[in-house]
Amino acid sequence: MAALLLLSSAARVGVAAPLALRQQRPVVLPGGQLRTGSGAGAASAWAARPLRPELAAVSRPAVPARGRAPLFRPRAWMASSQIASSAFTWGTIAVLPFYALMVVAPNADVTKRAVDSSAPYVALGILYAYLLYLSWTPDTLRAMFASKYWLPELTGIVRMFASEMTVASAWIHLLAVDLFAARQVYHDGIKNNIETRHSVSLCLLFCPIGIATHVLTKVHLESLHHGIQASVIEVLHGRLYDAVVPHL
């Protein structure tokens, strides 16, 4: 009788063990960690345990922050950095031949025809308008005129120039204005027979300094010219006096 009881209890244990193992299915947690449990209580207990830092960093996907979109987000069919870089490079290359002609051959006919052309300003204007469109957002005006008096503020301008597209558009703007100023300096030099090579060269990167240099050069040459004229008139007047007075 005792033997039969032992056999029946062993059979019950043998049947219950596989059932227990089946119920304790492994729970796959984020990060590749395996946890086994026998029910919701065990699963919740293991889920409450923190993951290892290295596994947690991998398992948790980056969730985009909810809030305002970036201030300047270009809308273009190409990458914004590629458009900005190409515009910066080709805009700079486009104006260099005009500066080279004004410096190397200022009196040549080809230089005068090239400088008088409006094509570079039209091309730079179209490129600038395109870049301005790509960098424009509803917050642009608010960033430019952040003051309560509707005046630009340095913090708003710095925020604007955090975008590559905005920097590229500003560079194209500077290239167009500098080239136009260099053309004015060149024309004034041709008209008044004044050397402008140094002033035109400075207008490429330091336009205000180039304009100031041209003004100083013009004033100096005019004063020098007037001084020479006065000296010549004085010498001629003295010689005429010496030649006429003895015969009187």
Residue 163: pLDDT over 80: yes
pLDDT of residue 198: 95
In a domain? residue 39: no
| 90 to 96, 125, 127, 168: CA distances (angstroms) | 10, 14, 10, 11
Give tens-digit pLDDT for 220-243: 988 887 666 556 666 655 555 555
Residue type, 32: G
Angle at 65 between CA 139 and CA 153, to 5 degrees: 30
**80-104 helix and 197-205 helix, angle to the nearest 10 degrees:** 170
In a domain? residue 51: no
In a domain? residue 228: yes
pLDDT of residue 234: 61
- Report, as an integer, the average pLDDT of 131-137: 89
Residue 215: pLDDT over 70: yes
- Higher pLDDT, residue 98 or 41: 98
**80-104 helix and 109-116 helix, angle to the nearest 10 degrees:** 140
Structural domain for 203, as ranges: 80-241
pLDDT of residue 223: 85
In a domain? residue 154: yes
- Report, as an integer, the average pLDDT of 112-126: 95
Integer Cα distance of 111 and 118 in angstroms: 13
pLDDT of residue 244: 58
Query: What's 138's DSSP letter?
Result: T
In a domain? residue 158: yes
Report the mean per-residue pLDDT for the chain: 74
- Report, as an integer, the average pLDDT of 197-207: 94
In a domain? residue 2: no
Integer Cα distance of 180 and 207 in angstroms: 10
Integer Cα distance of 199 and 196 in angstroms: 5
- Among the listed residues 72, 62, 193, the one whose alpha carbon sits nearest the alpha carbon of residue 137: 72
- Higher pLDDT, residue 151 or 110: 110
pLDDT of residue 74: 43
pLDDT of residue 46: 44
pLDDT-derived band at 141 (thresholds 50, 70, 90) equals confident
- Report, as an integer, the average pLDDT of 25-41: 49
Number of structural domains, the chain? 1
- Report, as an integer, the average pLDDT of 186-205: 94
Give tens-digit pLDDT for 61-96: 444 444 444 444 444 456 788 999 999 999 999 999
Integer Cα distance of 189 and 184 in angstroms: 9
Residue 17: pLDDT over 80: no
In a domain? residue 30: no
In a domain? residue 160: yes
- Report, as an integer, the average pLDDT of 100-118: 95
Assign residue 70 a region: left if phi > 0, alpha if psi is -120 to 50, beta otherwise? Answer: beta
Q: Which residues of 13-46 are buried (b: 16+ CB within 10 A; e: fewer)?
A: eeeeeeeeeeeeeeeebeeeeeeebeeeeebeee
Angle at 230 between CA 228 and CA 231, to 5 degrees: 65
pTM: 0.61
Continuous H helices in 60-206? 80-104, 109-116, 119-135, 140-144, 154-160, 164-192, 197-205
pLDDT-derived band at 152 (thresholds 50, 70, 90) equals confident
Residue 247: pLDDT over 70: no
